[in-house]
Amino acid sequence: MSDTFPSMTRRTWLGTSGSALAWAASVADSAAAPPGPGELPFRHIHLDFHTSPAVTGVGADFKAEEFAGVLKEAAVNSITVFAKCHHGMSYYPTKVGIRHPNLKIDLLGEIIEACHRTAIKVPVYISTMYDQYVWTHHADWRVLEADGAEEGHRGHGGPLLPELGKVCVNTPYADYLAAQAEEILKAYEVDGLFYDNYSYNSACYAPSCMLEREKLGLDSNSKADCLRHAQMVQKRVMERLAGLVRAQKPQARVFVNGPVRLRQDPVWMRSILPNYSHIEIESLPGGSWGYSYYEMAARYLRNLGLDTMGMTGGFHRSWGDFGTVRNQAALDYECFQMLAQANQCAVGDHMHPAGRLNPQLYQRIGRTYRSVREKEPWCAGAKAVTEVGVLLQPLPARGSESDLGATNILTQLRQQFDLIDRDDDFQKYAVLILPDAHRLDAALTSKLRSYLDRGGKLVLSHESGLDEAGRAFALPVGLSYEGPWKHEAQYVEPLGEFQKDIPPMVHMAYETGSAVKAQAGTAVLARVWQAYFDKDFRHFQVEQTPFSSATDYVGAAALGNTVYFAIPLFRSYTRFAYPLYRQLAANALAKLLPRPIVRAELPTTAQVTVTAQPGRQIVHVLHYIPERRAPNLDVVEDVIPLSNVKIALRAGQRPNRVYLAPQRQPLQPGWQEGYATVVVPAVVGHQMIVFET
């Protein structure tokens, strides 16, 4: 992430007479100011206004000063507002597009002017591949799937009309989009453009794309060729759209929503990053994302070299959930988690067609954002401090159960980690974890061998570490692979040091893994037990068949800097949440990483992350508990305080001062074996502990 310290702040920090607390106070004094050119704001609103042309009285109740006043009172310092929505309606006097038929004012222009008078930045939203007006009037521009069906979001639009049909940018529609963007950039003092819903599900099979592939020598019967072409088209048009912003307003922000995400081809994604000023992670926990998605996406996307903003929503569920507001505790948790992940904050909203913001929602946003404003001095320019890298599953399994299990385990163990792909720098991490299913090609094998040769440490499970054919281990791990475990049940008994904090018994592995034996010199850390029999018509047992005898197969083993588990440890934790799996991982990390960055005496429901600014490290402790209160919906409503929390931070030298932020309450630190230790009197939701040297 880029350095976002204001120039006056940098001078204060580098001066010889200003203490760190004085530096923090100087930033706090300037926190109400709008972000400067190129700076990503910490208190952003993403405001939707997808309004059917059938809706009457659009903007009838809008009052510009009231609108800006609500935002100012809520401590908002930036807002993305709408120029054109999914319906294809424009909200300003356009000569290019289709103005909403029931809008009588220049809604976009009045919002921009009022917000700028209140020192609020205003990037502007343009819907791209969702434009229902164009979709209806230009059937030849529609995105088609391989079977000829129209691609789009099918909800309640009826059998003949998708709720949102997608329009292909490999048609004259790209000229239409570019003309709209240029019109807005020339007519208004915008602070950036947000291009939304810019992606194909896979590829487009409309005539324009089929014919272009034919000219390029690409085969429309090949999924790989179609994907390559879709990426080519998206990149070409994206460069055009981003270039318009750079040419007209070089300091303005540009974000294209869709291509940069967790489940994306990393090579292509990195190739399009020059078109971005920053990254926004859309992740509304009440919607289909849930609470797990942001945790994974933030730990991956924050490492791409751009400032990164999280985005939750002000709704109980998901976008356009009119007549609801997010619980205060949930809104706090989601925004404070963004700070803890070294991200900036955004809250999504959808204005009522009449043109007034919901004051009840903005009262809640204000409570959250005033707290964010107080915390900004310890978050501006902060970078995540990590030492464990988790290699994401290859596509299309990226972000699946194995990745989620690793994320959950490491979060609950309070390890400091990133999610990475094979193109990242492995040497940044003391330990790499390859969860469950990473078979190694020649390039990845070579990279991992180099990592191990330089002192790196590996945790492997199940098929991770095997060659591409799945016949043998590609790395020198001291193990012989025989294939998948052939029996119905696989039991595991931890041995020796791996019995730490695990009941001394034989444990059921809810999912079977691999049949692996140790070679000479390999330490067996857990052994496999077999069951009495596999069930069939002659052998019956209620539930799983009990274990009968130990085998010479490995449940866990170690050789040098590598620990291997024969079971799909991480996927199993996602599916069953059996604490055994988490503790096995904890014991492996204790062996490979005996001195983690942070230690804390906390319940597993608490989250701990570490960020850094020049001369200081900040420990974030979060304690909010999402609870499943409805099918597919986790709810955060209550804040459960924690008392007398013991924190130990590994440090290169004894800190000069330790204090709570933003309270600036000093703490009395101890120093023991290279760790600075403190007792935090209370954690109420979110607490930052600052260690300064």
Packing angle of the helix pair 207-216, 223-248 (nearest 10 deg) = 100
80-100 confidence digits (pLDDT tens): 999 999 999 999 999 999 999
User: What is the per-residue pLDDT for 10?
Assistant: 25
Q: Which amino acid is at 98?
A: I
Strands 523-531, 514-518: pairing kind: unpaired
In angstroms, the Cα distances linking 209 to 233, 475, 671 are: 9, 43, 65
**580-604: pLDDT as tens digits:** 999 999 999 999 999 999 999 999 9
**Interval 269-322: pLDDT, tens:** 999 999 999 999 999 999 999 999 999 999 999 999 999 999 999 999 999 999
Whether residue 494 has a cis bond before it, omega within 30° of 0: no
What is the DSSP-derived secondary structure letter of residue 133?
A: H
Predicted confidence (pLDDT) per residue in 319-340, tens digit: 999 999 999 999 999 999 999 9
Beta bridge partners, 508, equal: 491
Complete DSSP assignment for 57-108? SBTTT--HHHHHHHHHHTT--EEEEEEE-TT-EESS--SSSEE-TTB-S-HH
Q: What is the phi/psi pair of residue 501, to 5°?
A: 60, 20
pLDDT at res. 380: 96
- Band of residue 19 on the pLDDT scale cut at 50, 70, 90: very low
Q: Is residue 470 very low, low, confident or very high in pLDDT (cuts 50, 70, 90)?
A: very high
Q: Which residues face 434 on adjacent strands?
A: 460
Beta bridge partners of 256: 195
Question: What is the residue whose two structure tokens read 């912003």?
Answer: 245
Q: Kindly state the percentage of the chain with pLDDT values over 70.
A: 93
Q: What are phi and psi of 563, to 5 degrees?
A: -120, 135
E strands within 368-488? Answer: 383-384, 388-391, 417-420, 431-434, 457-461, 479-484
Average pLDDT of every residue of the chain:
92
Distance, CA of 433 to CA of 454 (rounded, Å): 16
Q: How many residues does the chain have?
A: 693
pLDDT score recorded for residue 31: 41
Q: 3-class SS at 5? A: coil
Distance CA 494, CA 93 (A): 71
Q: Which tops the pLDDT comparison, 183 or 25?
A: 183
Residue 16 pLDDT > 80: no
How far is CA 482 from each of CA 6, 471, 509, 552, rounded to the nearest angstrom?
59, 8, 19, 12
| pLDDT, tens digit, 9 for 90 and up, residues 603-653 | 999 999 999 999 999 999 999 999 999 999 999 999 999 999 999 999 989
Domains parsed from the chain with CATH numbers: 388-592 (3.40.50.880), 598-692 (2.60.40.1180)
Question: In this predicted model, what pLDDT tens digit does every residue of 101-134 receive, in sequence order?
Answer: 999 999 999 999 999 999 999 999 999 999 999 9
- Of 292, 231, 235, nearest to 262 by C-alpha is 292
Evaluate if residue 28 carries a pLDDT over 80.
no
Report the alpha-carbon distance of residue 387 to residue 469 in Å, rounded.
31
Which of 98-112, 152-166, 562-576, 596-610 has the weakest average pLDDT?
152-166
pLDDT at 540: 75
Calculate mean pLDDT across residues 135-158. Answer: 84
Q: What 3-state DSSP class applies to 305?
A: coil
Side chain identity at residue 594, one-letter code: P
pLDDT band at 18 (very low <50, low <70, confident <90, very high): very low
**Contact by Cβ (8 Å): 239, 275:** yes
Average pLDDT in the 22-42 region?
Answer: 54
The distance in angstroms from the start CA to the end CA of the chain is 23
- For residue 131, give the nearest of 196, 184, 75 by alpha carbon: 196
Q: Please give the sequence-ordered ranges of beta strands (E in DSSP) within 485-522, or none if there are none.
A: 490-494, 507-509, 514-518
User: Phi first, then psi: what are they for 204, rounded to 5°?
Assistant: -115, 135
Out of 347-356, 525-534, 657-666, pick the least confident. 525-534
| pLDDT band (50, 70, 90) for residue 538 | confident
pTM beyond 0.85, yes or no? yes
pLDDT tens-place string over residues 418-447: 999 999 999 999 999 999 999 999 999 999
With a CB cutoff of 8 Å and minimum separation 6, the contacts of 14 are none
Name the E strands within 495-606: 507-509, 514-518, 523-531, 547-559, 562-565, 598-601
Note the Cα 421 to chain centre separation in Å. 14
